[in-house]
Chains A and B, each alone.
Chain A
Amino acid sequence: AQSVTQLGSHVSVSEGALVLLRCNYSSSVPPYLFWYVQYPNQGLQLLLKYTSAATLVKGINGFEAEFKKSETSFHLTKPSAHMSDAAEYFCAVMKGNTPLVFGKGTRLSVIA
């Protein structure tokens, strides 16, 4: 069964600094990969998704992620953190028509 591992349950960055949230997947076949964001007391919303069209995927709010098959990774980055980026971020994987499987999440704190 496919799964994702998010390295670091909590990441703290200064405002304006690079954001890097790590995600590794396990799958024998390249899957579909997603990043979702959850703001406090809200549901999840899609940031971006990889569906094999391009390895570098751009999402909303200036986030992007790069699919690296050799490293089985799909790390999320943003060049310059903003206070409004403070939230919990979830990596998720889907293979074929099976439902999404989520990682345990990484809480991002942004320090002024």
Chain B
Amino acid sequence: NAGVTQTPKFRILKIGQSMTLQCTQDMNHNYMYWYRQDPGMGLKLIYYSVGAGITDKGEVPNGYNVSRSTTEDFPLRLELAAPSQTSVYFCASSNGAGGSGELFFGEGSRLTVL
């Protein structure tokens, strides 16, 4: 059972470049999330989706875009990379919200912008 799979695991970008972080889950979960983790700051929500075709902004959406065309996939797009986007990015999924909203996380994608 693969769970939540993120690619790539590591990436170095130059300022102004664009890239997409891929996330796919095989648990048929409706809810999917993108968080970024910075040292000492915990995890901050970038975007989330409650189902195919539905996305919403989280706490720190600026500089990012998402789409949700299928239940399985939730890619995160960085259009013009900036040093402030250097971080570890985690994709997560869950079967529901509220008390049943246990999140299952991918292993993370470490992005460095130089």
Contact = CB atoms under 8 A, between A and B. Distances in A.
Interface stretch (A14-22, A65-73, A74-82, A101-109): A101-109
Interface string A34-61: 1010000111111001011000000000
Contact of A43 (B42, B48, B107): B107
Interface string A78-112: 00000000000010001011111111110000000
A26 B41 CA distance: 18
A56 B74 CA distance: 36
A57 to B, nearest CB: 12
B108 A46 contact: no
Interface stretch (B14-22, B63-71, B76-84, B95-103): B95-103
B13 interface: no
B43 A102 contact: yes
Contacts, number: 60
Given A43-B90, A104-B40, A104-B41, A32 B106 contact: no
Given A46-B102, A99-B45, A94 B90 contact: no
A81 to B, nearest CB: 23
B112 to A, nearest CB: 15
A65 to B, nearest CB: 15
A42 B107 contact: yes
Nearest to A10: B40
A52 B99 CA distance: 9
Interface of B: 4, 33, 35, 40-45, 48, 58, 90, 92, 97-99, 101-103, 105-108
Given A42-B108, A94-B101, 10 more contacts: A41-B107, A43-B106, A45-B105, A51-B98, A52-B99, A97-B97, A97-B98, A100-B45, A102-B43, A104-B41
